[in-house]
């Protein structure tokens, strides 16, 4: 099965926005952290909402009215509370922007033409505009990366809106964190809608596994933490090696080491080197438990992920069994539909016979029954026309189902049967 994937990632600072912009616009010369990026294929990337400038400059142009409004407000603010626009954005609990990411499992894109990829991308952007509710002027940049293993869309949006400031009872521009995606429950609901849009446009993709976003964020969090710890360990080891080398050199060159029964006398610089070794060793000892804790967390998460994979395999088997059962039910249902169709045909002929040969009370009762069948969608307009045409109840029933006048008979034989009537036994 192929899965459609939609994720949302908040961008909290201007610096983060600049870093994401460098990645999305391929401004870096090399991508050592992501060997999947093939720079020779970058020319195939597709701009959905182009941005000529770098992200920060584009962002400043997009929010220029917001910055102007904020700076005006700061003119009357107390000195100790004044902040620059950038300081306010970076320290705020709100976001600078949001990054929306759309993709699918790799096999979905196998042998897919550029036109079909564009149709998929248009479906994603329709979702951004019509279901998430973003306006064109709120889209900072949107691009399809075709230079990685799996095509995917990065769409960076700035949820700049006017909201009521309850303190001053005035409307102010702001970039709220939860304007368009309120929480994880709402995100899950939106992912359901996204999957519906894909299916409506003929893309046979299953909805992504619920909760996978949280796993994805956890993996990103672990990668970020382990990268920090790796750098930290490298620095600690380097500092300890340097301290040890320096101490050994001092011990080699020191000449006035005096040893008696209770004391060892060394030069001050040699002693300082020894103290430095002790200090760096303590750093290693203090950091080791943190490394152990991280290892345990990653190990636990990995085992949990393996359990989820097993559960997923079990679910796949259940789905396969349900699919087989559903196919059998579909066959039975089709058989019942054919049987019901035959019964309704017989009823239609029976009702027509009653309208032709029955007495007036029988005709009245039959007319009421025909109307009920029509109201319940068991008969359509053509069925009612076929039953009543040429009978004394033609006008009443034609009017009831709003049948066109050209179907009415020019000459009615209320007392006899039409030559094409079907004979049934009563």
Q: Is residue 346 part of a domain?
A: no
Q: Is residue 10 part of a domain?
A: yes
Question: Within this chain, do residues 175 and 73 fall inside the same structural domain, yes or no?
Answer: yes
Q: pLDDT digits over 79-112, tens only? A: 888 889 999 898 887 889 999 999 887 788 888 8
51 close to 155: Cβ distance less than 8 angstroms:
no
Can you give the pLDDT at residue 383?
A: 92
Question: Within this chain, do residues 304 and 270 fall inside the same structural domain, yes or no?
Answer: yes
Question: Within this chain, do residues 29 and 143 fall inside the same structural domain, yes or no?
Answer: yes
Nearest to residue 142, comparing CAs of 65, 38, 46?
46
Q: How far apart are CA 56 and CA 39, in angstroms?
A: 23
Q: How far apart are CA 136 and CA 154, in angstroms?
A: 15
- With 0-12 CB in 10 A as exposed, 13-18 as middle and 19+ as buried, what is 50? exposed
Question: Within this chain, do residues 34 and 137 fall inside the same structural domain, yes or no?
Answer: yes
Can you give the pLDDT at residue 115?
A: 93
Question: Within this chain, do residues 97 and 24 fall inside the same structural domain, yes or no?
Answer: yes
Q: Is residue 345 part of a domain?
A: no
User: 172 — phi, psi (to 5°)?
Assistant: -135, 150
Can you give the pLDDT at residue 361?
A: 87
Can you give the pLDDT at residue 301?
A: 54
Domain final residue pick, 179, 208, 237? 208
Q: Is residue 219 part of a domain?
A: no
Q: How far apart are CA 1 and CA 3, in angstroms?
A: 7
For 208, 295, 304, the CA distances from 307, given in Å and listed in that order, are 18, 18, 5
CA angle 234, 240, 243 (to 5 degrees): 140
Place of tokens 């998929």: 120
Question: Within this chain, do residues 188 and 230 fall inside the same structural domain, yes or no?
Answer: no
Residues contacting 130, CB < 8 A, separation 6+: none
Question: Within this chain, do residues 253 and 203 fall inside the same structural domain, yes or no?
Answer: no
Q: How many CA atoms lie within 13 A of 76 on its CB side?
A: 4
pTM: 0.51
Question: Within this chain, do residues 379 and 286 fall inside the same structural domain, yes or no?
Answer: no
Using left for φ > 0, alpha for ψ between -120 and 50, and beta otherwise, residue 102 falls in beta
Can you give the pLDDT at residue 373?
A: 86
- With 0-12 CB in 10 A as exposed, 13-18 as middle and 19+ as buried, what is 379? buried
Q: How many CA atoms lie within 13 A of 94 on its CB side?
A: 18
Q: pLDDT digits over 325-338, tens only? A: 556 656 655 665 66
Q: Is residue 216 part of a domain?
A: no
Question: Within this chain, do residues 244 and 290 fall inside the same structural domain, yes or no?
Answer: yes
For 67, 148, 174, 419, the CA distances from 19, given in Å and listed in that order, are 22, 18, 23, 84
Reduce the DSSP state of residue 212 to 3 states and report it.
helix
Question: Within this chain, do residues 24 and 169 fall inside the same structural domain, yes or no?
Answer: yes
Question: Within this chain, do residues 247 and 125 fall inside the same structural domain, yes or no?
Answer: no
Nearest to residue 1, comparing CAs of 310, 328, 317?
317
Nearest to residue 11, comparing CAs of 125, 92, 70, 69?
92
Question: Within this chain, do residues 160 and 27 fall inside the same structural domain, yes or no?
Answer: yes
CATH number at residue 201: 3.30.930.30
Sheet of 152-157, strands arranged across: 46-49, 139-145, 152-157, 97-104, 3-11, 206-207
Can you give the pLDDT at residue 417?
A: 44
Q: Is residue 101 part of a domain?
A: yes
378 close to 396: Cβ distance less than 8 angstroms:
no
Q: How far apart are CA 182 and CA 419, in angstroms?
A: 69
Domain final residue pick, 272, 306, 325? 325
Domain final residue pick, 208, 243, 270? 208
Total domains present in the chain: 3
- E strand or H helix at 252: helix 212-253
Q: Is residue 344 part of a domain?
A: no
Q: Is residue 340 part of a domain?
A: no
Give the range of the structural domain holding residue 280, as residue numbers without chain letter: 225-325
Q: How far apart are CA 63 and CA 69, in angstroms?
A: 10
Q: What is the DSSP letter of 161?
A: E
Per-residue pLDDT of the chain (426 residues; tens, 9 = 90+): 677 888 888 899 999 999 999 989 988 766 555 667 888 888 999 999 999 999 999 999 999 999 999 999 888 888 888 889 999 898 887 889 999 999 887 788 888 899 999 999 999 999 999 999 999 999 999 999 998 888 999 999 999 998 888 777 888 898 988 888 888 788 888 888 888 888 888 887 776 555 555 445 445 555 555 665 566 666 766 776 777 777 667 666 655 555 455 555 556 666 677 667 666 666 666 655 655 555 555 555 555 555 555 555 655 665 566 566 556 656 655 665 665 677 778 788 888 888 888 889 889 989 998 998 888 888 899 999 999 999 999 999 999 999 998 888 764 444 444 434 433 333
Using left for φ > 0, alpha for ψ between -120 and 50, and beta otherwise, residue 211 falls in left
* Alpha helix positions (H), 254-359: 268-357
């Amino acid at each position: 099965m192929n899965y459609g994937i939609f994720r949302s990632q908040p961008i909290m600072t201007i610096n983060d926005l600049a870093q994401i912009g460098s990645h999305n616009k391929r401004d870096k010369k090399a991508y050592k952290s992501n060997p999947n990026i093939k720079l020779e294929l970058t020319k195939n990337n597709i701009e959905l909402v182009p941005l000529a400038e770098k992200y920060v400059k584009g962002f400043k142009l997009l929010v220029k009215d917001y910055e102007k409004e904020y700076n005006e407000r700061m003119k009357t603010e107390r000195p100790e509370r004044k902040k620059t626009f950038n300081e306010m954005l970076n320290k705020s609990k709100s976001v600078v922007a949001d990054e929306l990411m759309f993709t699918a499992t790799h096999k979905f894109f196998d042998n897919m033409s550029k036109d079909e990829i564009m149709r998929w991308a248009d479906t994603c952007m329709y979702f951004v505009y019509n279901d998430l509710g973003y306006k064109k002027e709120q889209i900072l940049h949107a691009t399809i990366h075709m230079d990685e293993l799996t095509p995917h869309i990065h769409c960076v949006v700035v949820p700049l809106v006017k909201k009521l400031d309850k303190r001053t009872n005035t409307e102010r521009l702001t970039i709220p964190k939860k304007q368009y995606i309120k929480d994880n429950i709402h995100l899950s609901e939106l992912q359901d809608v996204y999957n519906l849009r894909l299916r409506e446009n003929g893309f046979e993709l299953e909805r992504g596994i619920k909760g996978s976003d949280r796993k994805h964020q956890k993996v990103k969090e672990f990668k970020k933490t382990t990268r920090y710890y790796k750098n930290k360990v490298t620095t600690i080891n380097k500092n300890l090696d340097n301290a040890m080398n320096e101490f050994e050199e001092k011990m080699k060159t020191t000449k006035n080491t005096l040893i008696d029964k209770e004391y060892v006398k060394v030069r001050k610089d040699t002693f300082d080197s020894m103290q430095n070794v002790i200090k760096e060793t303590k750093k290693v000892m203090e950091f080791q438990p943190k490394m152990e804790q991280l290892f345990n967390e990653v190990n636990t998460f990995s085992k949990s992920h393996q359990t989820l994979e097993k559960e997923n395999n079990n679910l796949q088997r259940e789905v396969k069994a349900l699919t087989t059962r559903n196919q059998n039910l579909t066959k039975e249902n089709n058989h019942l539909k054919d049987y019901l169709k035959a019964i309704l045909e017989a009823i239609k002929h029976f009702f027509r016979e009653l309208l032709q040969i029955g007495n007036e009370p029988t005709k009245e009762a039959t007319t009421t029954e025909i109307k009920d069948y029509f109201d319940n969608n068991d008969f359509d307009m053509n069925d009612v026309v076929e039953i009543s045409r040429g009978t004394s109840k033609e006008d009443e029933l034609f009017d009831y189902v709003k049948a066109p006048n050209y179907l009415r008979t020019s000459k009615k034989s209320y007392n006899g049967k039409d030559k094409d009537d079907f004979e049934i036994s009563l």
